[in-house]
C-alpha cells in the first residue's frame, strides 16, 4: 500500500512539474473564463436592449408623446430627413413654377395623357384653372387625378384638417399629416409629383358671403375654367352651385358617397335626373326654391339603403346626456351625426368628377349613358296616374277639375324601378307599365281645405305597378266597383304587394 502511494505521489509531482501540462491547464481555464464572460456580456446587452425598448414606449397615461401623436399624427422633428426632403420638394416646386424645369420632362411624364387627349387637348388642360371646394375623400382624389394629368392651376378650398379617420379615404394624406389643413397636405404631397403645377390653397369655409372672393379669377386675371363641388354640407353646397349657375361658371357636383357600396350604380348626369340620393334630393329641392332645377352635372349613386346596409348613425344616448352636443362637431350643426363611409366609394366619386372635368376641358367626346334613359316613360306614367285619379274622383262624385296629386316624375321612377323592380306586380311583365292604387280610396281622400285647390291624399306605398291593360281592369273592378284586391288576384300577388310595401316603409324611414 505504501509503495503504491509513493509511486502515485512521484507521478503527480512529475505531471505538476511538466511545462506542457501547465500550458494545457492554463489554456483550458482561459477558454472557460472567456466563454463565461461572453455569455455574461450577451445577457447583459440583451437585458439593456429590452430595458431601453420598454422605456421608449410611452405610458398610456403619459401626457407628452401620446398627446403629441393624437394631436399631430407622427409629428416630424425639424432636423429629420423627412423634413429636409419636404423642404427640397417645396424648393424644387418654386423653381419649377418659375420655369426652371425641363419641358421635355413634363411631356414625358404626361405622355399617356398626351396621346389620349392629343397635343391640343393636353395644352387646354395644362392652361386650365380649376377650383376644388372640399378636399376630403372625394375632393382629394379629384385634385390628385387632375394634378397628375397635367392641370396647370388648382385652387383648393377647405376649412378642415386631416384626422385619423380621414386616412381611410383621403388620396394622399399620411399619419404625419394628421392635424394639418387638408389643402396644405394636398399641396405638399402633390408638389412632390407635379412640381410645375401652381396651387392656391385657402384654409377657409366656403359660404355665400365669401363666394365672390373664393371663386375670383387667378391673380393674373384668368377666370376659373371649372369648379368642383365636393362639399358635404348642404347649405354650403347649395350656395356654391347657385353662385356658379348664376354667374355662368362651369361646375360639377359630387353627391353623397356615404353609406354607398355599389360602384356599378354610380352615374354622371344632370341634377334633375339624380333620384335615389338623399343629399341630391335635398340639394335639388333647395336649388328649386332658388330657381335652379337643371343644368348642373352631378355624380350620384342610384343605390338605396335598406336592412343590413350601412345607415347614417345617430349619436349614442350617453353623448346627448353629457350635453353640449354641438361641441362634437367642427362647426355648430355641422356633421354631428356619424356617417359610415366605405373608403373606396369617395375615390370612385372623385375620379368620376376629375374624369368629367378633364374630358370637358379637352373637348373630348363624353356622352354618358343615363341611369335608365326612361325619363319620358316616367312622365307618361305620371300623366296616366293623374288621369286615373281624376276618373276615380269623378266616379265618387268629386269634381276632378284642378285635382292635384303629390307625386312627381322622380317619385314615379323611384317607385317603378326601386320598389317594383321595373315589372308588373300582377304578371311580372316589364313593358307598357302603369301605376294604380291598390285599394279603392275611402273617406276624405280629396283634401278641399285649401281654397281653390283640391289635393289628392296619395302615398307612394298606395301604388302598385302593373301593365296598362291590367290597370284598366283594376280601375273598373277594384277602384270603381269596390272589389277587394284579394278577390281579383291570387295569394302570391297579394303577398308580394304587402311585402314590397313593408320594405318601402322601412326604406322611407331611413331616407
Angle at alpha carbon of residue 103, lines to 102 and 106, rounded to 5°: 100
Residue 263: Cβ within 10 Å count: 15
The three cell numbers of residue 418 are: 326601386
- Residue from 291, 406, 269 nearest 280 by CA: 269
Give the tens place of pLDDT for each residue, 399-410: 888 888 888 887
pLDDT at 444: 74
Mean pLDDT of the chain: 81
pLDDT at 335: 46
The three cell numbers of residue 145 are: 387625378
Evaluate if residue 312 carries a pLDDT over 80.
Answer: no
Evaluate if residue 503 carries a pLDDT over 60.
Answer: yes
How would DSSP label each residue in 344-405?
HHHHHHHHHHHHHHHHHHTT---PPPPSSS-HHHHHHHHHHHHHHHHHHHHHTT---TTEE-
pLDDT interval class at 328 (50, 70, 90): very low
The three cell numbers of residue 158 are: 377647405
State the average pLDDT over residues 122-146: 97
pLDDT at 332: 44
Q: How far apart are CA 225 and CA 49, in angstroms?
A: 60
| Structural contact between residues 287 and 312, judged by C-beta atoms closer than 8 angstroms | no
CATH no. of 71-309+341-361: 3.40.50.720
What are the extents of the domains in the chain?
71-309+341-361, 375-510
Query: Which of these ranges, 169-178, 305-314, 491-500, has the smallest mean pLDDT?
Result: 305-314
pLDDT interval class at 74 (50, 70, 90): very low
Exposure of 268 by Cβ count < 10 A (0-12 exposed, 13-18 middle, 19+ buried)?
A: buried
| Phi, psi of 463, rounded to the nearest 5 degrees | -95, 145
Q: How far apart are CA 27 and CA 30, in angstroms?
A: 5
| Structural contact between residues 226 and 124, judged by C-beta atoms closer than 8 angstroms | no
DSSP 263: G
State the average pLDDT over residues 53-76: 45
- Quote the distance between the C-alpha of residue 24 and its chain's center: 79
pLDDT interval class at 372 (50, 70, 90): low
Give the tens place of pLDDT for each residue, 435-449: 999 998 887 776 666
Q: Provide the angle, in degrees to the nearest 10, between the axes of the packed helices 2-16 and 19-56.
A: 60
DSSP E strands: which ranges in 116-217? 129-133, 153-157, 198-202
Evaluate if residue 149 carries a pLDDT over 50.
Answer: yes
pLDDT at 331: 45
* pLDDT over 70 percentage in the chain: 74
Q: How far apart are CA 488 and CA 477, in angstroms?
A: 8
Amino acid at each position: 500500500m505504501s509503495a503504491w502511494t509513493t509511486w502515485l505521489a512521484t507521478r503527480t509531482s512529475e505531471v505538476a512539474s511538466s511545462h506542457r501540462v501547465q500550458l494545457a491547464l492554463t489554456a483550458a481555464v482561459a477558454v472557460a473564463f472567456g466563454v463565461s464572460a461572453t455569455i455574461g456580456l450577451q445577457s447583459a446587452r440583451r437585458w439593456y436592449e429590452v430595458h431601453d425598448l420598454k422605456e421608449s414606449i410611452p405610458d398610456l397615461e403619459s401626457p407628452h408623446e401620446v398627446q403629441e401623436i393624437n394631436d399631430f399624427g407622427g409629428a416630424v422633428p425639424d432636423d429629420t430627413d423627412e423634413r429636409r426632403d419636404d423642404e427640397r420638394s417645396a424648393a424644387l416646386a418654386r423653381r419649377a413654377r418659375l420655369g426652371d424645369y425641363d419641358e421635355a420632362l413634363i411631356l414625358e411624364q404626361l405622355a399617356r395623357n398626351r396621346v389620349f387627349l392629343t397635343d391640343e387637348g393636353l395644352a387646354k388642360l395644362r392652361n386650365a384653372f380649376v377650383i376644388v371646394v372640399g378636399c376630403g375623400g372625394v375632393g382629394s382624389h379629384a385634385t390628385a387625378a387632375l394634378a397628375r394629368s397635367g392641370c396647370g392651376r388648382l385652387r383648393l378650398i377647405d376649412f378642415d384638417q386631416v384626422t385619423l379617420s380621414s386616412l381611410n379615404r383621403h388620396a394622399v394624406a399620411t399619419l404625419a399629416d394628421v392635424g394639418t389643413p387638408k389643402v396644405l397636405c394636398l399641396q405638399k404631397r402633390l408638389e412632390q409629383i407635379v412640381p410645375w403645377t401652381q396651387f392656391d390653397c385657402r384654409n377657409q369655409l366656403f359660404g355665400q358671403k365669401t363666394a365672390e372672393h373664393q371663386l375670383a379669377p387667378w391673380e393674373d386675371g384668368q377666370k376659373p375654367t371649372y369648379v368642383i363641388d365636393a362639399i358635404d354640407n348642404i347649405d354650403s353646397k347649395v350656395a356654391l352651385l347657385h353662385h356658379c349657375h348664376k354667374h355662368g361658371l362651369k361646375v360639377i357636383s359630387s353627391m353623397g358617397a356615404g353609406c354607398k357600396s355599389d360602384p356599378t350604380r354610380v352615374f354622371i348626369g344632370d341634377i334633375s335626373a339624380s333620384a335615389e340620393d338623399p343629399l341630391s334630393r335635398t340639394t335639388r329641392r333647395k336649388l328649386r326654391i332658388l330657381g335652379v332645377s337643371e343644368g348642373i352635372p352631378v355624380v350620384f349613386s342610384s343605390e338605396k339603403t335598406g336592412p343590413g346596409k350601412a345607415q347614417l348613425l345617430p349619436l349614442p344616448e350617453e353623448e346627448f346626456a353629457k350635453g353640449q352636443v354641438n361641441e362634437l362637431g367642427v362647426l355648430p350643426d355641422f356633421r354631428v351625426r356619424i356617417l359610415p363611409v366605405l373608403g373606396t366609394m369617395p375615390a370612385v366619386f372623385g375620379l368620376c368628377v376629375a374624369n368629367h372635368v378633364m374630358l370637358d376641358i379637352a373637348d373630348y367626346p363624353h356622352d354618358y349613358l343615363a341611369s335608365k334613359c326612361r325619363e319620358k316613360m316616367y312622365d307618361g306614367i305620371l300623366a296616366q296616374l293623374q288621369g286615373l285619379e281624376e276618373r276615380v274622383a269623378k266616379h265618387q262624385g268629386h269634381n276632378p277639375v284642378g285635382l292635384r296629386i303629390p307625386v312627381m316624375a322622380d317619385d314615379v321612377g323611384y317607385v317603378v324601378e326601386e320598389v317594383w323592380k321595373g315589372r308588373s306586380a300582377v304578371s311580372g311583365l316589364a313593358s307598357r307599365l302603369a301605376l294604380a292604387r291598390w285599394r279603392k280610396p275611402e273617406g276624405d281622400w280629396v283634401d278641399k281645405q285649401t281654397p281653390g285647390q283640391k289635393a289628392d291624399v296619395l302615398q307612394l306605398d298606395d301604388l302598385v305597378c302593373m301593365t296598362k291593360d291590367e290597370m284598366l281592369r283594376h280601375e273598373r273592378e277594384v277602384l270603381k266597383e269596390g272589389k277587394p284586391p284579394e278577390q281579383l288576384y291570387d295569394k302570391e300577388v297579394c303577398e308580394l304587394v304587402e311585402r314590397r310595401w313593408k320594405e318601402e316603409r322601412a326604406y322611407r324611414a331611413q331616407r
